[in-house]
């Protein structure tokens, strides 16, 4: 078989210039990546091996911070709170956003208006929506307890009670289901209608069509939303920072909040860096597991499904 | 010789990692020795960067106006005021300091001074104070308990601040009550609160802005003879029955007598006293200007006395000006702080807070500015019954631990005994990790 002469040795001047131009074009991005992302990532790993109070030079301590994590009860509490949040808010959000997307995919009047209404909360800045939810959860004047009082129920203290604080934040997380809903909607509208027609010819009813056509065809979108929502859930911070400061009784001590407190309130940047690396590895592991599982449950139209 | 690509890449990555680690290990933050009062390096006019969080246009203007006479009298010093958002102020200051970009002077909250001082962030002002023979007895506000650390002084007074007791006089009148007498007791407080509470109209006798120790419930802990920490600041004392009795009184206000709502009812509100439906409000001195705009008649009251112990206590805690140890113009920066602590600075800011100088706080001009309210109550209580916030180098950490546990008292999830037991266990664990050099 004929081969081209070694491309490495015989690049034409034009090709070389084009390559140079190409590199120059990506240089700003490359520099940004190096300076603002790669270097801080590597630096954070180095800091995780130090005792670093931010305002004093770091002192190398080896793996001491990582060993300390094992004995730190608040680390385990933060991990527990975050994991509960991830395994509850993520599936709840996925199911609710999928259900809304299915509704929004129907031919109903003012559907564009409904879609806008459901999507709108995602446009509200987190700080603003957090303040709004503080009011909603206010046990005395809040919307939630006022509604409950109408039906004769005296609502709980919500954020003020250690048993209700985390569920409150999980409920609040459903406020932004409009984002994944929009992605689901795009996916639903991309399902070829001939599949439904074929199913109807086979005598499939609404439920069978959903189960045999819609759901399998949507699995790549569900997979994408699952990965994204899971990562966001692991990194949740602002809500607890503003609303509860991790309380009461550490009931909402999210991992990133604990990390922040260590870095900037308790002068333990080295320990916080170790926390960050553990979180990174945890997210990496969970993402890898979900990716691995995708071979079983995600169906790509262009592929022959492996069995 | 041929090398597998993966192996070569791994080697390169490791080299890069090592290089960056070596690079960072040599990037030590610029840190001057703590307490070393260097003299100004610059000759001629110098610019002093003074950083503060902005507290509204009026406050910001008052600070700038206050500094004008100083600049006129000191043409060699130009003060550049940098207003920043209050959120994240402390975080930013730390990173600026680490990067050698910190201002010369910073505003400080009470929980930042000693933690920063213990880590060498701030310059000890005592050598300057001694050298310039600053008359510290001219201040009614004791600065040493708030901003002193290991014999040094790391803050210059901005205000004399802390806890204030606000009374809604319109509600008093509507309930047929007279203004509390100067020597009113906890029993009187409860009786007043019971008369002013009306669940039907969501009207409460008492409200506390910030409740957890070392905030406003602490004045009750002190009232029963208890403390939060021991005198050395290295042991939690909340499990002492005396301290527990004070906390129990506050818990009873919420759960037994129902004259005060649980703190969670504050969610979403900046200050419930402004609604006009709270009779007695334990708040901060910094809330005065907002309350002044509330549109009802109110006044300051003395803190009530515990009749069993005869003790009256009020929590102090205020803003300070601190000199950053990275400043290259420490002499000039000190002059600015000295001015702000002095007659000019205290008079300039007296509309916005409680001045710490006796001569200013005892002046008719100051009283007139705060009329019709009786501001003498505030500073007299501070001067006679004030207690500090137990500042330590790990203040924020143990405060957070105490706050997490005591919050369970107010929600009714834990008894005072249970919560204080857990709080003290957590606090003492934090203290056990302290380095040896942190002895006071």
What is the reported pLDDT for A258?
Answer: 97
Polymer length of chain B = 440
Average confidence score pLDDT of chain A: 92
In chain A, what residues touch B24 (CB-CB under 8 Å)? 42-43, 46-47, 58
Report the pLDDT averaged over residues A186-208: 93
Which stretches of B219-362 are assigned E, i.e. beta strand? Answer: 278-284, 298-300, 314-315, 320-323
Report the pLDDT averaged over residues B129-140: 95
Q: A11 lies in a domain?
A: no
What pTM did the predictor assign? 0.87
B153: part of which helix (H) or strand (E)? strand B152-153
Can you give the CATH number for the domain in which A261 is found?
1.10.3720.10
**Containing structural domain, residue A36:** 19-60
- Is it true that domain B163-315+394-438 has CATH number 3.40.50.720? no
Nearest to A248 among B20, B94, B411 (CB): B411
What is the reported pLDDT for B428?
Answer: 96
Distance in angstroms (rounded) separating the CA atoms of residues A70 and A76? 8
The backbone region for B391, taken as left when phi is positive above 0, alpha when psi lies in -120 to 50, beta otherwise, is: beta
What is the reported pLDDT for B197?
Answer: 96
Q: Do B268 and A134 touch (CB under 8 A)?
A: yes
pLDDT in tens, B365-405: 999 998 899 999 999 999 999 999 999 999 999 999 999 99
Q: A68 lies in a domain?
A: no
Q: Do B267 and A58 touch (CB under 8 A)?
A: no
Q: Do B404 and A42 touch (CB under 8 A)?
A: no
Q: A2 lies in a domain?
A: no
Report the pLDDT averaged over residues B249-255: 96
Distance in angstroms (rounded) separating the CA atoms of residues B79 and B338? 13
- Which residues pair with residue B78 across a beta bridge? B47
pLDDT in tens, B49-95: 999 998 888 899 999 999 999 999 999 999 999 999 998 999 999 99
pLDDT in tens, A219-238: 999 999 999 999 999 999 99
Report the pLDDT averaged over residues B246-256: 96
DSSP code for B439: -
Q: Do A162 and B411 touch (CB under 8 A)?
A: yes
Q: A6 lies in a domain?
A: no
What is the reported pLDDT for B289?
Answer: 86
- CB burial readout A243-276, b (16+ within 10 A) else e: bbbbbbbbbbbbbbbbbbbbbbbbbbbbbbbbbb
Shortest Cα distance from B58 to chain A (angstroms)?
25
Name the 3-class secondary structure at B277.
coil
Task: Give me B95's structure tokens.
Answer: 């990173």
Report the pLDDT averaged over residues A228-251: 94
Q: A120 lies in a domain?
A: yes
Q: Per-residue confidence at A22, pLDDT binned at 50, 70, 90?
A: very high
Q: Is the pLDDT of residue B204 over 50?
A: yes
Q: Is the pLDDT of residue B163 over 70?
A: yes
In chain A, what residues touch B400 (CB-CB under 8 Å)? 245-246, 261, 265
Query: What is the percent of chain A with per-residue pLDDT over 90, rounded to a whole number?
Result: 87
Verify that A111 and A146 share a domain, yes or no: yes
Q: A307 lies in a domain?
A: no
Verify that A132 and A230 share a domain, yes or no: yes
Q: Is the pLDDT of residue B29 over 80?
A: no
Verify that A45 and A87 share a domain, yes or no: no
Name which of B99, B396, B411, B430 to mutate to probe chain A: the one with the most chain A Cβ atoms within 10 A of its Cβ: B411
Shortest Cα distance from B261 to chain A (angstroms)?
8
What is the reported pLDDT for B395?
Answer: 94
Per-residue CA distances from A91 to A163, A185, B210, B415 (Å): 21, 18, 37, 37
Q: A80 lies in a domain?
A: yes
Of A184-193, A298-307, B101-110, B389-398, least confident by mean pLDDT is A298-307
Q: A7 lies in a domain?
A: no
Average confidence score pLDDT of chain B: 89
Report the pLDDT averaged over residues B24-37: 43
B170 upstream amide cis, omega within 30 of 0: no
Query: Is B413 an 8 Å CB contact of chain A?
Result: yes
Please say which residue of A60, A92, A109 terminates a domain.
A60
- Is it true that domain B46-160+318-387 has CATH number 3.90.1150.10? no
pLDDT in tens, B89-100: 999 999 999 999
Ordered alpha helix ranges (H), chain A: 13-32, 39-47, 64-71, 73-104, 111-119, 126-137, 143-150, 165-173, 178-189, 193-201, 206-209, 215-234, 238-243, 255-260, 269-297
Could you tell me where in chain B the CATH 3.40.190.10 domains are found?
46-160+318-387, 163-315+394-438
What is the reported pLDDT for B270?
Answer: 75
Verify that A42 and A151 share a domain, yes or no: no
Verify that A176 and A27 share a domain, yes or no: no
Verify that A82 and A120 share a domain, yes or no: yes
What is the reported pLDDT for B22?
Answer: 44
Looking at chain A from residue 136 to 195, which residues have their Cβ under 8 Å from any Cβ of chain B?
137-142, 157-163
Task: Identify the sign of the CA torsion A247, A249, A254, A258.
Answer: positive
- What is the domain count for chain A? 2
Polymer length of chain A = 307
């Amino acid at each position: 078989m004929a081969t081209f002469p070694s491309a490495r040795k015989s690049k034409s001047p034009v090709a070389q210039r084009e390559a140079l131009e190409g590199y120059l074009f990506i240089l700003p991005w490359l520099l940004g990546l190096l300076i603002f992302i790669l270097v801080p990532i590597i630096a954070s790993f180095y800091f995780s091996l130090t005792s670093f109070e931010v305002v004093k030079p770091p002192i190398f301590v080896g793996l001491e911070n990582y060993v300390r994590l094992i004995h730190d009860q608040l680390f385990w509490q933060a991990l527990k709170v975050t994991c509960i949040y991830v395994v509850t808010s993520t599936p709840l959000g996925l199911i609710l956003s999928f259900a809304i997307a299915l509704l929004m995919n129907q031919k109903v009047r003012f559907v564009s208006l409904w879609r806008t209404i459901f999507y709108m909360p995602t446009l509200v800045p987190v700080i603003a929506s957090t303040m709004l939810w503080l009011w909603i959860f206010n046990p005395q004047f809040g919307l939630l307890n006022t509604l409950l009082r109408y039906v004769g129920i005296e609502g709980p203290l919500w954020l003020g009670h250690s048993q209700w604080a985390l569920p409150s934040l999980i409920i609040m997380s459903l406020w932004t289901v409009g984002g994944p809903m929009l992605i689901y909607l795009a996916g639903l509208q991309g399902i070829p209608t001939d599949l439904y027609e074929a199913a109807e010819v086979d005598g499939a009813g609404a439920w069978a069509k959903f189960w045999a056509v819609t759901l399998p065809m949507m699995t790549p979108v569900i997979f994408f939303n699952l990965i994204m929502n899971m990562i966001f859930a692991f990194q949740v911070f602002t809500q607890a920072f503003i609303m509860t400061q991790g309380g009461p009784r550490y009931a909402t001590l999210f991992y990133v909040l604990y990390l922040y407190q260590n870095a900037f309130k308790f002068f333990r940047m080295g320990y916080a860096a170790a926390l960050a690396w553990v979180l990174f590895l945890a997210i990496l592991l969970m993402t890898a597991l979900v990716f691995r599982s995708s071979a079983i449950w995600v169906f790509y139209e262009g592929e022959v499904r492996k069995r | 010789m041929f090398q597998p690509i993966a192996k070569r890449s791994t080697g390169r990555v490791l080299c890069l990692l090592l290089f960056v680690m070596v690079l960072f290990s040599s990037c030590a933050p610029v840190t001057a020795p703590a307490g070393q009062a260097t003299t100004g390096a610059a000759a001629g006019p110098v610019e002093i960067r003074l950083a503060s969080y902005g507290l509204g246009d009026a406050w910001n203007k008052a600070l700038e106006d206050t500094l004008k006479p100083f600049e006129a009298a000191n043409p060699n010093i130009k003060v550049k005021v940098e207003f920043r958002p209050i959120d994240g102020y402390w975080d930013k200051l730390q990173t600026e300091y680490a990067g050698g970009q910190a201002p010369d002077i910073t505003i400080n909250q009470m929980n930042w001074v000693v933690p920063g001082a213990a880590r060498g962030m701030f310059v000890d002002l005592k050598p300057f104070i001694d050298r310039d023979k600053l008359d510290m007895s001219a201040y009614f506000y004791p600065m040493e308990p708030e901003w002193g650390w290991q014999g040094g002084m790391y803050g210059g007074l901005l205000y004399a601040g802390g806890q204030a007791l606000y009374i809604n006089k319109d509600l008093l009148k509507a309930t047929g009550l007279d203004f509390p007498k100067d020597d009113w007791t906890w029993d009187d407080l409860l009786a007043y609160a019971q008369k002013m509470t009306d669940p039907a109209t969501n009207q409460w006798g008492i409200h506390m802005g910030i409740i957890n120790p070392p905030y406003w419930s602490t004045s009750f802990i002190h009232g029963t003879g208890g403390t939060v920490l021991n005198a050395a600041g290295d042991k939690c004392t909340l499990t002492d029955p005396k301290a527990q009795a004070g906390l129990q009184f506050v818990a009873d206000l919420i759960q037994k007598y129902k004259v005060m709502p649980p703190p969670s009812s504050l969610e979403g509100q900046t200050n419930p006293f402004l609604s006009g439906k709270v009779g007695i409000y334990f708040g901060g001195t910094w809330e005065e200007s907002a309350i002044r705009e509330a549109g009802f008649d109110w006044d300051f009251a003395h803190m009530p006395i515990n009749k069993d112990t005869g003790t009256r206590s009020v929590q102090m805690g205020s803003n300070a000006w601190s000199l950053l140890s990275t400043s290259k113009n420490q002499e000039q920066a000190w002059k600015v702080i000295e001015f702000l602590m002095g007659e000019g600075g205290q008079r300039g800011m007296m509309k916005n807070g409680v001045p710490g100088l006796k001569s200013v706080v005892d002046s008719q001009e100051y009283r007139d500015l705060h009329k019709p309210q009786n501001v003498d109550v505030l500073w007299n209580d501070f001067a006679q019954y004030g207690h500090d916030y137990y500042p330590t180098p790990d203040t924020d950490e143990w405060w957070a631990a105490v706050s997490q546990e005591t919050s369970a008292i107010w929600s009714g999830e834990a008894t005072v005994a249970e919560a204080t037991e857990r709080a003290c266990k957590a606090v003492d664990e934090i203290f056990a990790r302290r380095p040896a050099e942190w002895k006071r």
